[in-house]
Amino acid sequence: MTKPTVTDPDAREKLHIAKMLLGGYAVVSVLTLLAIVVFSGNPDIVTDAVWIRGSILVVASLVTFALGASMAGGSRGSYRRVRIIAPAQVVAIGVIESVPGSFPVWFKIANGVCGALLMIVVLLTFARSVRAAFAS
């Protein structure tokens, strides 16, 4: 079975932008993990919770980026997965951002950037032209 091809120019553009934003999400996540490693000797900057969440963030971002690349190539299954995973990640980030004192400010800023990128991806993947491109 061949992958469906997205022919609508507006949908293709939105999918390309979503893929780039997911790439940005992955880059910010990897850079955040690098900062965790660099500052791991300072418990005021890097807590155990930061290590755990930072590691989860990298894995989630890389998986989501891979799905986004596949989605942009026309994979209906990847499109469905991104439409489920991206909003779930936005909610998780929102919860993390709202809990006072749960994470250092620098980490919340990095998470906020990731959340903003993902929110735009959610809006793009729920756009009418993109939904139509993957309609059964």
- Alpha-carbon distances of 80 from 36, 39, 63, 103, rounded to whole Å: 32, 37, 14, 31
Total domain count, the chain: 1
In a domain, 114, yes or no: yes
Using CB atoms within 10 A of its CB, is residue 44 exposed (0-12), middle (13-18) or buried (19+)? exposed
Q: Which residues contact 30 (CB under 8 A, 6 or more apart)?
A: 58, 61
In a domain, 21, yes or no: yes
In a domain, 2, yes or no: no
In this structure, are residues 114 and 59 in contact, taking their beta carbons and an 8 Å threshold? no
Provide the 8-state DSSP code for 104: -
In a domain, 15, yes or no: yes
112: containing domain: 9-133
Using 50, 70 and 90 to split pLDDT, how confident is the model at 111?
Answer: very high
Over range 65-80, report the average pLDDT: 96
In this structure, are residues 53 and 104 in contact, taking their beta carbons and an 8 Å threshold? no
In a domain, 1, yes or no: no
Using 50, 70 and 90 to split pLDDT, how confident is the model at 34?
Answer: very high
Tens digit of each residue's pLDDT (9 = 90 or more) over 80-105: 999 999 999 999 999 988 988 889 99
CA distance 62 to 69: 11
Over range 20-24, report the average pLDDT: 98
The more confidently predicted of residues 7 and 72 is 72
Q: What mean pLDDT, rounded, does the chain reach?
A: 94
Per-residue pLDDT at 6: 86
In this structure, are residues 5 and 27 in contact, taking their beta carbons and an 8 Å threshold? no
- Reading the block at residue 96, the tokens are 């993390």
Over range 23-42, report the average pLDDT: 97
In a domain, 4, yes or no: no
In a domain, 70, yes or no: yes
At residue 4, does pLDDT exceed 70?
Answer: no
